[in-house]
């Protein structure tokens, strides 16, 4: 940590105290990369699963970095702390803000709007006010401790106003933004009553990263149409009166995110995890084929479509209980948001109906698990699964698909992958499906079950090569190198 004083310390303002330490590199995300574990005297923090923090930890250490984000509990102030070499700067949220900024505007307005309006987005002015206020708090937390000319990397749709807020307060910063979820076509984005403000917020960045080239061009089109940007393709120019020539360049480009491939592969080679995979199969009565779905319980993931296809295959007699079992892990998510509550009821009703109809005393059709698991157990599940089902209706990337591929060290296994997930751009040898086409999905499932081993191995080998080279470390270094390049 550097001992200099921040260039422009913010006074007690919007909940953010002035800081005495400053940093050259800051990552800002709604959630911190740590989760609380234990209670009372045993309370502590554990690194959250997921690759982002693994990719950024070395950059943080090298460049005197800090991570700014919410620690996950309402109405609680947590002092800055160090965790595994990373400086953590918690931003507080009140219970009301969790409802309006997080559950409301982020997850009941933006999330459905950006995912093809699969669920109807709700537009409430009070939610928008909270979103602005909380984004300002995150921006203040950064400006209070960013060194002169520091690099700030803002993550995801919860914080789209932060880039412009940072630029207003601190034009010296190099500002990057990465959108982990899709950016919708202009015709859908146009519904947002605050579309201009959101675009202006994003246009505060020097470099905007998206998962797919289409997301970047959707953004660029919207920026030209509703926020007065000019320029060709995804190389935009915006008006900026603080610059001597009155203009500033903004790039919107695709940087497909990936996983910590080496860690997944290392776990997949551990004898105890291989043994755990064997035990999972045995516990299910050693069916010939295990199919697996692993998702947050979210309406974008196409869990209903997958269950429908499986139920019809059972009804048609094309698959039989005892021979084929589907494990569906649905990790709890955003449980206070109405659409998520409704989805849970629907999925659990469907699973109950399928199992009630097809289960025998010895065997189950669907083993449904409404839990989150540590990465070790996830990898054991990947190893136990002959067929992985990723049937998202819309998904920025889908890292589960990449993790499955990374864990199949022996080259076996078949991946069914929705063409509406960003991962379909990189994993072209998967069995690509349109999840809305139930007949096609059923055919792909039976193809996957009966895939000749030689063909399966060839496909898997090519996909494995892809994720081995293009891992999350490469992703973050390419983004940060590009940011350096585009910042004068
Ligand atoms: C998606 C988003 C992330 C988010 C995660 C979990 O992957 O892109 O920004 O953190 O879902 O959702 P949650 O609402 O629990 O943070």
User: How far is the centre of ligand 1, averaged over its atoms, from the C-alpha of 117 (Å)?
Assistant: 17
Tell me the sheet residues that pair with 236. Answer: 250
CATH superfamily for 261-470 is Glycogen Phosphorylase B; (3.40.50.2000)
End-to-end C-alpha distance for the chain, whole angstroms:
26
Low-confidence ranges of the chain (pLDDT < 50): 1-12
What is the distance between the alpha carbons of residues 40 and 76, in angstroms, rounded to a whole number?
A: 15
Contacts of residue 283, defined as CB under 8 A and 6 or more positions apart, other chains included, come to: none
**Which residue's entry shows tokens 């935009």?**
236
User: How far is the centre of ligand 1, averaged over its atoms, from the C-alpha of 181 (Å)?
Assistant: 9
User: How far is the centre of ligand 1, averaged over its atoms, from the C-alpha of 148 (Å)?
Assistant: 31
Tell me if 334 CB under 6 Å of ligand 1. yes
Please, are residues 33 and 48 in contact by the beta-carbon 8 Å criterion? yes
User: How far is the centre of ligand 1, averaged over its atoms, from the C-alpha of 156 (Å)?
Assistant: 9
Tell me if 72 CB under 6 Å of ligand 1. no
Among protein residues, the one whose CA lies closest to atom 7 of ligand 1: 180
| pLDDT for 63 | 83
User: How far is the centre of ligand 1, averaged over its atoms, from the C-alpha of 64 (Å)?
Assistant: 26
User: How far is the centre of ligand 1, averaged over its atoms, from the C-alpha of 385 (Å)?
Assistant: 25
Among protein residues, the one whose CA lies closest to atom 14 of ligand 1: 334
User: How far is the centre of ligand 1, averaged over its atoms, from the C-alpha of 281 (Å)?
Assistant: 30
| pLDDT for 11 | 42
Q: List the chain domain ranges.
A: 12-258+474-486, 261-470
| pLDDT for 52 | 84
What atom in ligand 1 is closest to the CA of residue 29?
9
| pLDDT for 54 | 79
Please choose, from the candidates 260, 241, 189, the residue with its C-alpha nearest in 3D space to the C-alpha of residue 468.
260
Tell me if 156 CB under 6 Å of ligand 1. yes
Summarize pLDDT for 41-60 with one digit per residue, the tens. 888 999 988 768 878 887 88
Among protein residues, the one whose CA lies closest to atom 16 of ligand 1: 31
- Specify whether domain 12-258+474-486 bears CATH 1.10.287.610: no
| pLDDT for 1 | 34
What atom in ligand 1 is closest to the CA of residue 396?
8
User: How far is the centre of ligand 1, averaged over its atoms, from the C-alpha of 244 (Å)?
Assistant: 39
User: How far is the centre of ligand 1, averaged over its atoms, from the C-alpha of 451 (Å)?
Assistant: 34
Tell me if 180 CB under 6 Å of ligand 1. yes
What is the distance between the alpha carbons of residues 199 and 268, in angstroms, rounded to a whole number?
A: 42
Token duo for residue 10: 């913010």
Please choose, from the candidates 82, 166, 102, the residue with its C-alpha nearest in 3D space to the C-alpha of residue 334.
102
Tell me if 395 CB under 6 Å of ligand 1. no
Please choose, from the candidates 475, 449, 237, 275, the residue with its C-alpha nearest in 3D space to the C-alpha of residue 376.
275
What atom in ligand 1 is closest to the CA of residue 106?
14
User: How far is the centre of ligand 1, averaged over its atoms, from the C-alpha of 157 (Å)?
Assistant: 9
User: How far is the centre of ligand 1, averaged over its atoms, from the C-alpha of 215 (Å)?
Assistant: 18
What is the distance between the alpha carbons of residues 465 and 87, in angstroms, rounded to a whole number?
A: 34
Among protein residues, the one whose CA lies closest to atom 9 of ligand 1: 156
Please, are residues 48 and 40 in contact by the beta-carbon 8 Å criterion? no
Please, are residues 252 and 208 in contact by the beta-carbon 8 Å criterion? yes
What atom in ligand 1 is closest to the CA of residue 333?
15
Tell me if 399 CB under 6 Å of ligand 1. no
What atom in ligand 1 is closest to the CA of residue 181?
8
What atom in ligand 1 is closest to the CA of residue 156?
9
User: How far is the centre of ligand 1, averaged over its atoms, from the C-alpha of 312 (Å)?
Assistant: 32
User: How far is the centre of ligand 1, averaged over its atoms, from the C-alpha of 153 (Å)?
Assistant: 17
pTM as predicted: 0.95
Ligand 1 site-directed mutation target among 72, 105, 180, most atoms within 8 Å of CB: 180
Among protein residues, the one whose CA lies closest to atom 12 of ligand 1: 333
CA distances from 419 to 19, 434, 450, 467 (A): 46, 6, 21, 18
Q: β-pairing, 44-47 with 34-37?
A: antiparallel
What atom in ligand 1 is closest to the CA of residue 102?
14
If you count them, how many residues does the chain have?
A: 488
């Amino acid at each position: 940590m550097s001992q200099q004083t921040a260039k422009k310390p913010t006074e007690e303002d919007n909940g953010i105290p002035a800081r005495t330490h400053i940093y050259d590199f800051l990552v800002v995300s709604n959630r911190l990369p740590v989760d609380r574990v234990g209670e009372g005297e045993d309370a502590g923090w554990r690194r959250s699963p997921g690759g982002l923090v693994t990719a950024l930890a070395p950059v943080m250490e090298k460049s005197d970095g800090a991570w700014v984000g919410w620690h996950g509990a309402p109405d609680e102030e947590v002092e800055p702390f160090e965790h595994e070499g990373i400086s953590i700067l918690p931003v507080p949220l009140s219970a009301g803000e969790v409802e309006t900024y997080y559950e409301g505007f982020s997850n009941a307005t933006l999330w459905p709007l950006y995912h093809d309006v699969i669920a109807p987005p709700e537009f409430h002015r009070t939610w928008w006010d909270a979103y602005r206020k909380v984004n300002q708090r995150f921006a203040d937390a950064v400006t209070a401790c960013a060194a002169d000319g520091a690099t700030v990397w803002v993550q995801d749709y919860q914080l789209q106003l932060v880039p412009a807020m940072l630029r207003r307060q601190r034009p010296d910063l190099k500002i990057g933004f990465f959108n982990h979820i899709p950016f919708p076509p202009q015709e859908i984005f146009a519904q947002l009553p605050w579309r201009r403000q959101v675009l202006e917020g994003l246009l505060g960045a020097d470099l905007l990263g998206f998962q797919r080239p289409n997301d970047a061009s959707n953004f660029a089109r919207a920026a030209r149409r509703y926020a007065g940007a000019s320029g060709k393709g995804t190389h935009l120019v915006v008006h900026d009166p603080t610059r001597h020539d009155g203009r500033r360049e903004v790039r919107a480009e695709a940087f497909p995110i990936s996983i910590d491939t080496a860690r997944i592969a290392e776990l997949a080679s551990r004898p105890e995890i291989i043994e755990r995979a064997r035990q999972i199969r045995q516990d299910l009565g050693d069916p010939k084929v295990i199919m697996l779905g692993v998702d947050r319980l979210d309406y974008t993931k196409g869990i209903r479509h997958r269950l429908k296809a499986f139920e019809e295959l059972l009804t048609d007699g094309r698959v039989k209980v005892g021979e084929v079992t589907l494990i569906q892990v649905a990790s709890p998510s955003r449980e206070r948001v109405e659409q998520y509550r409704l989805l849970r009821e629907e999925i659990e009703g469907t699973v109950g109906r399928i199992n009630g109809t097809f289960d025998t005393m010895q065997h189950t059709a669907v083993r449904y698990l409404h839990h989150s698991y540590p990465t070790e157990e996830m990898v054991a599940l990947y190893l136990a699964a002959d067929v992985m089902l990723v049937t998202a209706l819309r998904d920025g990337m889908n890292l589960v698909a990449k993790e499955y591929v990374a864990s199949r060290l022996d080259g076996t296994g078949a991946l069914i992958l929705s063409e509406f997930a960003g991962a379909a751009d990189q994993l072209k040898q998967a069995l690509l499906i349109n999840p809305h086409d139930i007949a096609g999905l059923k055919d792909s499932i039976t193809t996957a079950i009966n895939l000749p081993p030689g063909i399966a191995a060839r496909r898997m080998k090519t996909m494995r090569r892809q994720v081995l080279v293009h891992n999350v470390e490469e992703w973050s270094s390419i983004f940060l190198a590009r940011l350096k390049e585009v910042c004068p």
